[in-house]
């Protein structure tokens, strides 16, 4: 996984706005080996990626790191409330 060198979204795109989403993950066996399937669904789109173990751990760490920068409850506390 590479670090972004530009904004993670297009700030000039007026169609981008906060929306609810559903995130699902599952470990699966693929023709090229085991992968974690990571899917994000919104009202307008679905994004699915197949991640090797190392990439899945990097994604999880990055999300945890960024969530830790947000004010409010710690991520572990927030997950318990869901």
Task: Give the pLDDT of residue 61.
Answer: 95
What is the domain range of residue 43?
22-81
Number of domains in the chain: 1
Least confident of 24-28, 33-37, 41-45: 41-45
User: Would 49 be classed as within a structural domain?
Assistant: yes
User: Would 29 be classed as within a structural domain?
Assistant: yes
User: Would 62 be classed as within a structural domain?
Assistant: yes
Burial of 22 from C-beta contacts in 10 A (0-12 / 13-18 / 19+): exposed
- pLDDT surpasses 80 at 81: no
User: Would 16 be classed as within a structural domain?
Assistant: no
User: Would 60 be classed as within a structural domain?
Assistant: yes
Rounded to the nearest integer, the mean pLDDT of the chain is 85
Query: Could you tell me if 40 and 46 are in contact, meaning their C-beta atoms sit under 8 angstroms apart?
Result: yes
User: Would 10 be classed as within a structural domain?
Assistant: no
Task: Give the pLDDT of residue 44.
Answer: 85
Identify the sign of the CA torsion 65, 67, 69, 73. Answer: negative
Task: Give the pLDDT of residue 71.
Answer: 87
Task: Give the pLDDT of residue 73.
Answer: 65
């Amino acid at each position: 996984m590479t670090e972004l060198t530009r904004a993670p979204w297009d700030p000039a795109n007026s169609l981008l706005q906060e929306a609810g989403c559903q995130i699902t993950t599952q470990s699966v066996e693929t023709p090229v080996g085991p992968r974690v399937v990571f899917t994000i669904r919104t009202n307008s789109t679905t994004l699915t990626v197949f991640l090797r173990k190392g990439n899945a751990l990097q994604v999880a760490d990055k999300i945890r790191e960024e969530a830790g920068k947000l004010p409010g409850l710690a991520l572990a506390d927030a997950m318990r409330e869901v």
